[in-house]
Amino acid sequence: MNLHLILPEIVVVAGGMLAVAVDLLAPASRKGRAAPWVAGLALLAATLLVVLGRPEGTSFFGHHRSDAFSRFVRAVATGGGVLLVLISAPYTRRMDRGHGEFYGLLLFALVGVMLVGAVTDLMGLFVCLELLTITSYVLAAFKRTDVRSAEAGLKYLVVGAVSSAFLLFGVATVYGAAGSVEFASLSAHVVGKGFSPLLALGTGMMLVGLFFKVSAVPFHVWAPDVYQGAPTPVTAFLSSVSKSAGFVLLLRVASVLVVPAAGTASGDAWVSFFGVAASLTLLYGNLAAIPQKDVKRLLAYSSIGHAGYMLLGLAALVATADPTVRVDAATAVLVYVFAYYVTTTTAFTVVAVVSAQGKGHRAETAYAGLHRRSPLLAFAMLLALLSLAGVPPMAGLIGKFLVFWSVVGAAQSHPSVVVLGLVGALGVVLSLYYYLLLIREMYAKDPSPEGGPATIRVPAAARVSVAIGIAALVGLGIYWAPVYDVARGAAEALFASR
């Protein structure tokens, strides 16, 4: 069993259960403060175990693998989870009940993310992803008295059920075509026998199910409404954790089933599949974000656009037979996931504090003259928006640069990929426009009388989250070698484990 290899997951599960127990046993006056401390300390302990322990090997009789790839995913999940707890703490203190439930669900969802990076077969992949997805449904509808939150949870449940059905039917079809659900056996089957129509159908259904999870076009319709209606800390969770897990699984499925077919007619078809999905997602997300006045909806459409950039990296991954370029493309996606995680959690920290004033999320009211009401929040949002746009020296620039670099490398063996690079460049120009519109509201407009108090009080937890976010955004943009090295090691482990 080698349970010591999953000690970080055990710590997080124990933290979630303890958060629920503390909520039941603590006095009413302390429930709002005790649960986030328990959750935060559990995630911090798990992060230290992942980073310092560096577990290697297999557990659960070979169904769970601890290597550089899983370690990267676990570190992002637990370290980012600490930021999510900091974002959530001011919100949950205003709740009259359910503090332990909220943090318990959050930690159980993070366990699902930690596990998806270490599974070695398709059934484990499905079960771990459902652990994340089912808890997400409850979190999206957690604000029981808010009609918009209940609507968001219901929409997410319906769409999520459809995506899970696609994924499960895809797994069953792949098993019927290849006779196995283990990753190593599936890769060997593709190399030896190629893609049969049944195997191609099953792989396509699995990819469609994962496209729902990452809100790729045309499976994106749930994202704007769910992002807007869910509680802001949950929106931050969906934008960062859920999307990260989706792309981790897309990398895993592509490396197992699609990459072995590179250079064949089936491989060319998969390049077109990923290329069209990336182009549509990137263009639609950025074009639809331009007219948005609600900041949460703007960030929702922005997240769709960023899913397109990460799909560009996946298109480059499946377009080349060169192992070095493949590793470059996988590294680019992982670095992008990390940079996007840090950027969105910083942005949603600002959104959570501003929305706590009870004046909504309208850019022309709640964010007008924000630099006068809270210079710290305005500066943090400025850096986050510049990072999302890919402006130097922000962290987002590194992710975009590496994705475009991988596209250039893949174009040497598949020239049509150059078109994807041009589409990505157009997306960068489009995104600059609507990000600058929000920056103008914060710095060039006077505060609106409808925007709330003249001075915004920033809770201590939010100040810590903002400070970490600012340091990470600037630090990663200036000195990104350590993150790149870790991500490259993870990418090499991804292909070594096939």
Mean local confidence (pLDDT), 27-36: 74
Here the tokens at position 345 are 């959690």
The pLDDT assigned to 20 comes to 87
Lowest mean pLDDT, pick from 78-87, 93-102, 125-134, 457-466: 93-102
Contact 405, 361 (CB under 8 A): no
Q: pLDDT tier at 169 (50, 70, 90 boundaries)? A: very high
Provide the domain limits for residue 210.
119-496
Q: What is the pTM of this model?
A: 0.92
pLDDT per position as a tens digit, 359-416 = 667 777 888 888 888 899 999 999 999 999 988 888 889 989 999 999 988 888 778 8
One domain for residues 280 and 367: yes
Same domain flag for 74 and 123: no
- Among 85, 118, 151, identify where a domain stops: 118
Within 10 angstroms of residue 16's Cβ, the number of other Cβ atoms is 26
pLDDT bin (cut points 50, 70, 90) of residue 189 is confident
How far is residue 408's CA from residue 414's CA, in Å, rounded to a whole number?
10
Q: In this structure, are 383 and 436 located in the same domain?
A: yes
Token pair belonging to 162: 């459809």
403, 428: one domain: yes
- Average pLDDT, whole number, for the chain? 86
- Judge if 293 and 425 occupy the same domain: yes
Q: State which of 95, 118, 141 marks the end of a domain.
A: 118
**Claim to verify: residue 326 and residue 462 sit in the same structural domain:** yes
Rounded mean pLDDT of 139-160?
Answer: 82
Asked whether the predicted pLDDT for residue 467 surpasses 80, the reply is yes
Q: Left, alpha or beta for 59 (phi > 0: left; psi -120 to 50: alpha)?
A: beta
Token pair listed for 282:
């990137």
What domain count does the chain have?
A: 2
Instruction: Please report the pLDDT score of residue 445 as a whole number.
Output: 83
C-alpha to C-alpha distance for 354 and 453, rounded to whole angstroms: 10
Confidence of residue 287 (pLDDT cuts 50, 70, 90): very high
Q: Are residues 146 and 68 in the same domain?
A: no
Which pLDDT band holds residue 308 (cuts at 50, 70, 90)? very high
pLDDT at 456: 82
Q: Which residue among 118, 142, 166 closes a domain?
A: 118
CA distances from 300 to 11, 246, 296, 297, 381 (A): 32, 16, 6, 5, 15
| Whole-number pLDDT of residue 379 | 93
For residues 320 and 419, membership in a common domain is answered with: yes
Half-sphere exposure of 84 (CA within 13 A, CB side): 31
pLDDT score of 32:
66
Higher pLDDT, 235 or 358: 235
Length of the chain: 498
Q: Quick check: 417 pLDDT over 80?
A: yes
125/235 same-domain check = yes
Ranked by mean pLDDT, the top range of 20-34, 56-70, 394-408, 442-456 is 394-408
Mean pLDDT of 62-70: 82
Give the model's pLDDT for residue 447.
Answer: 79
| pLDDT number for residue 4 | 75
Banded model confidence at residue 263, pLDDT cuts 50, 70, 90: low
Check residues 66 and 383 and name the one with the higher pLDDT: 383
Radius of gyration of the chain (CA): 21
pLDDT number for residue 487 = 92
Query: d(Cα 109, Cα 102) in Å, to the nearest integer?
Result: 11
More confident residue, 4 or 8: 8
Strand-pair partners of 121: 182
Burial, 21: exposed, middle or buried (Cβ in 10 Å; 0-12, 13-18, 19+)? middle
Q: If you average pLDDT over residues 438-457, what whole number do you get?
A: 80
**Domain shared by 95 and 125, yes or no:** no
- Of residues 267 and 163, which shows the higher confidence score? 163
In this structure, are residues 347 and 299 in contact, taking their beta carbons and an 8 Å threshold?
yes
- Whether residue 184 sits in one domain with residue 297: yes
Give me the pLDDT at residue 498, please.
58
Report residue 413 as tokens: 């063996």
Q: At what angle do helices 147-178 and 183-193 cross, to 10 degrees?
A: 50
Confirm if 383 and 371 have CB atoms less than 8 A apart: no
Mean pLDDT comparison of 97-111, 178-192, 298-312, highest-scoring range = 298-312
Clarify whether residues 294 and 194 are in a common domain: yes
Q: How far apart are CA 394 and CA 380, in angstroms?
A: 12
Instruction: Quickly state the pLDDT bin for 23 (edges 50, 70, 90).
Output: confident
